Chain A
Amino acid sequence: KAGEVLLLRTRIASNARGTRACSASIAASAAATRSETLPLSDQLCTVQQCAAVSSACSSARVATQSSGPCSARQSPHSMSAAALEELAEKAEALAGRVSSRANKASDEFEEDEEEDDASYFKMKQELLTTYCGMLSYYLCRKARGESIENHPVVRRLYELRLTFEKLRLLDAKLRHQLDKVLARADAADVAPVANLESVEIDKEEGTYKAPRSTVAYQEQDEASSDDDDDDDEAPRAPVKERQERSTRARRAEIDFLLKERSDAPVEIGSGGHDESLGTGQRAARRERRRKEQREQEAYEEDAFRRIDTNKKKKKRRKTADFASSLDDLI
């Protein structure tokens, strides 16, 4: 009798395939052996029921502990249908939340013929969905008991995980801009649409009169008094955040945004790309040279004398002028 119970115990343990389930089943069988008066069949039944219930409980507990499908690091060894359902539910909820916002942002910018701002969200959405898909496949395999070794899914999961880590850092840096984009997307619903019927044509003079009540101007009461001409409808960032940024980075950012927004043609240097952008050595050297030249000219005009009278200096000045303008010609 004891031997049979032992056999039962081991079989149940092997069937359960999980530490928690194991311990639970062992406890159940121990309890069963304590009550040795029960017939064997009954014992079997109770033990099995206990095992089943405990396994279900353990897997459900594990599933709830993993907050959301994307951070389930240790896949539970035994998955019941309930846990899988929960996973599916959470994945749907997440997808819905992300896609709605991304679509809103992208819709808003499709009108403006610009997709750059929403591309970040779209990329993130895609990555997340792939991650969810991979994860669910991984879990399925585990649930069925198939080996997961040397399967490309595992490697892919690792890669995605690393990407998310990097994106988290990037998020922190870009948070201000992303908030602006989202705020604009949210405000897009409220933005006024031009009402062509309200256009007045002065019959006496035959000229066009703009409608008096223009909502657009009211919305810009918080308009930035910054140097940039960019009409930014989003509210200004909090003071602390503004102060934290270094002035150079901020100026570079403003220049970049201005360049993006403006329709003006962009000069392309000999390198094939826009040379005024850039934080490299050449840009720095150009900046320094321009600054020097400006200073020299200012001094010359103040002191009423020329400085470059040396043959060497004169040559340098002439070649510098020539080289800098040749870039524009090529």
Chain B
Amino acid sequence: MTVTVRTRKFIRNPLLQRKQFVVDVLHPDRANVPKSELQDMIAKAIPGAFYHTYKVTDKSLISLFGFRNKFGGGKSTGFCLIYDSAESAKKYEPKYRLVRNGFVEKKETSRKQIKEAKNRKKKQIRQIRGTGRRIANHKAKKAAKDG
């Protein structure tokens, strides 16, 4: 089925160098519409939308987020920001959205990795509680046993 996109509450936001508006998507036969598809549609012509007074050069300057399906399906509402340039986008967009649009690479951060790194560091610094006699004795005994 055809996907219809409508815009609402259009505002030109010069402080953050962008245009922002609310997006209504009508998708009768689909669960929802992927954001990449919406980016394409918005970059092209939406008849009657205000932002067409300004030119959209780069598709990746269009940032879409906050989409919620209306109860019963067929309609979802979300927000859209169109930045004037890549610099303003990098300045004002949150990191996760920049990653989505390909401006920034995501660092590989898994919890486990972080914890392991921390623990390794701990051992290097060697923070010993108390005098350390107990550990020393234990080490000596072990060396004697092995040796």
Contacts and interface: CB of A to CB of B under 8 A. Distances in A.
Interface of A: 300-302, 304-306, 321-322, 325
Contact of A325 (B66, B71, B81): B71
A314 to B, nearest CB: 10
B79 A325 contact: no
Given A304-B81, A305-B66, A325-B71, 11 more contacts: A301-B8, A301-B9, A302-B9, A304-B20, A304-B66, A304-B79, A306-B66, A306-B68, A321-B71, A322-B71, A325-B72
B135 to A, nearest CB: 44
Contacts of B56: none
Contacts of A306: 66, 68
B5 interface: no
Nearest to A324: B71
A127 to B, nearest CB: 51
Contacts of B79: 304-305
B3 interface: no
Interface in B52-74: 66, 68, 71-72
Nearest to A304: B79
A289 to B, nearest CB: 13
A304 B72 CA distance: 23
Contacts of A321: 71
Contacts of B43: none
Interface residues of B, number: 10
A300 B22 CA distance: 10
Nearest to A308: B68
Nearest to B81: A304
Contacts of A325: 71-72
A300 B79 CA distance: 10
Q: Which of A304, A321, A322 has the most CB of B within 10 A?
A: A304
17 contacts: A300-B66, A301-B8, A301-B9, A301-B22, A302-B9, A304-B20, A304-B66, A304-B79, A304-B81, A305-B66, A305-B79, A306-B66, A306-B68, A321-B71, A322-B71, A325-B71, A325-B72
Contacts of B8: 301
A293 B24 CA distance: 18
Contacts of B71: 321-322, 325
A322 B70 CA distance: 11
A101 to B, nearest CB: 52
A52 to B, nearest CB: 88
Contacts of A301: 8-9, 22
Contacts of B20: 304
A309 to B, nearest CB: 9
Complex A-B, nearest 10 residue pairs according to Cβ-Cβ distance, in ascending order: A321-B71, A306-B66, A304-B79, A301-B22, A304-B20, A301-B9, A325-B71, A305-B66, A325-B72, A306-B68
A283 to B, nearest CB: 20
B42 to A, nearest CB: 16
A292 to B, nearest CB: 15
B10 to A, nearest CB: 12
A120 to B, nearest CB: 43
A300 B78 CA distance: 10
Contacts of A300: 66
Nearest to A321: B71
Interface in B120-143: none
A200 B60 CA distance: 67
Q: Which of B20, B79, B81 has the most CB of A within 10 A?
A: B79
A159 B137 CA distance: 104
B52 to A, nearest CB: 20
B36 to A, nearest CB: 20
A63 to B, nearest CB: 73
A326 to B, nearest CB: 11
Contacts of B66: 300, 304-306
A114 B42 CA distance: 55
A118 B20 CA distance: 59
B101 to A, nearest CB: 17
